[in-house]
Amino acid sequence: MKNKLKAILNDYILEFQEYKNKFQNFMKQTIIIVKEFMTNIKENFKNQDTKKKYLATTIILVILNLLIINIFTSFAYYYDKDILTIVEAKVGDINLNKYDYVLRVFLEEAGKDGIGTGKYYLSSNIPTIGYTYSNYTCQNGSILNYDEQAKMTSVSLDQKDICSIYFNIVGSLDIGLEIMLESDIDSNTYIKSNYIPSFGYKYSYFECENNASLEYDPVLHKVKVSTAKKDYCKVYFDKDSYDIKIKTFVENTYNTKDYIELNSIPANKKYILNEGKSICKNKNNERIDNSITYENGYIELATSEISTCEVYLNLYE
């Protein structure tokens, strides 16, 4: 959206500059004519027959020039007012000093039966499945439109604004599943996650209220639950002790190069590796090239000499 707005703005600026140049040339020619006319007045003003004619003509020219200047000034004012320059727009970060438009996405929390609770949490992505659009709010009254098919938003605004869009969870589930990750601060505390981690954690145990059985596939990072009735399960993952420290950054919005750090790769998005930005280093802090590959949600490292990695993934259109 930003590129499209910039292109439109550039067209308007070029058109406005063209009108401005034409007006400046017109005023230069008018000034020359007026100077010549005033010279003639001085030479002929002693002639009583032509005195009244020159005086009337002068008044008409002055009024005409004032009208032209007023028309052009009004056009330039309203023309400029109709153009809104959007320098930057971002999802999630509330910083109107840096961005003209901020969009916050909220998803409804699911209860144990899978039915929405009416409570919402902040998400980094617009959901593609499992949710339906509910409503939006904008602090400064901007108008936001949501395209259900494309899963995209567009906004009309005439000043900086922060908008929040809300999505409700769809239907109810026979099995409620909650993913719990060990806290970085306290090993006895677990934090709810929206995704099953693909690296950095190892499966620990599970709890089901109605005694369902659960299996975890460490290769595919999937959970299989077997039960004869509705159940609600929590699956716990402990932090894994790797010699390799991997930080993963995913593109927040397509083709913006705006990255956010995540503990796991979202399953509902397609990514490609940004080879130029991704980097791995050994224990001596020396760069190791061509050491990272990414495919179908999995990051693979080509050598055991790696100590730290920063992996950048771009959204795939």
- Which pLDDT belongs to residue 165? 94
Per-domain residue ranges of the chain: 2-81, 89-169, 175-239, 245-315
Residues of the chain with pLDDT under 70: 1-24, 26, 34-35, 37-98, 112-114, 171-173, 241-243, 266-268, 296, 302-304, 306, 317
**CA angle (251 as vertex; 203, 136 as ends), nearest 5:** 95
- Which pLDDT belongs to residue 203? 92
Tell me the pTM.
0.37
| Maximal CA-CA distance, the chain | 116
Give CA–CA dist 195/267, Å, rounded: 8
- Which pLDDT belongs to residue 44? 59
- Which pLDDT belongs to residue 63? 66
* CB-based contacts of 205, cutoff 8 Å, min separation 6: 236
Q: How many Å separate Cα 79 from the centre of its chain?
A: 28
Name the phi and psi angles at 6, rounded to 5: -65, -40
Contacts of 82-85 with C-beta under 8 Å, sequence gap 24+, read: 83/9, 83/12, 84/157, 84/158, 85/9
Q: Sign of the CA dihedral 272, 278, 282, 287?
A: positive
- Which pLDDT belongs to residue 81? 37
* CB-based contacts of 49, cutoff 8 Å, min separation 6: none
Beta bridge partners of 217: 222
Kindly report the number of other CB atoms within 10 A of residue 136's CB atom. 19
User: Do residues 311 and 247 make contact, with C-beta atoms less than 8 angstroms apart?
Assistant: yes
Pair of tokens at residue 8: 């439109």
Cα separation values, 214 from 32, 226, 232, 236, Å = 91, 6, 11, 12
Beta bridge partners of 129: none
Beta bridge partners of 259: 251
- Which pLDDT belongs to residue 3? 47
Kindly report the number of other CB atoms within 10 A of residue 65's CB atom. 15
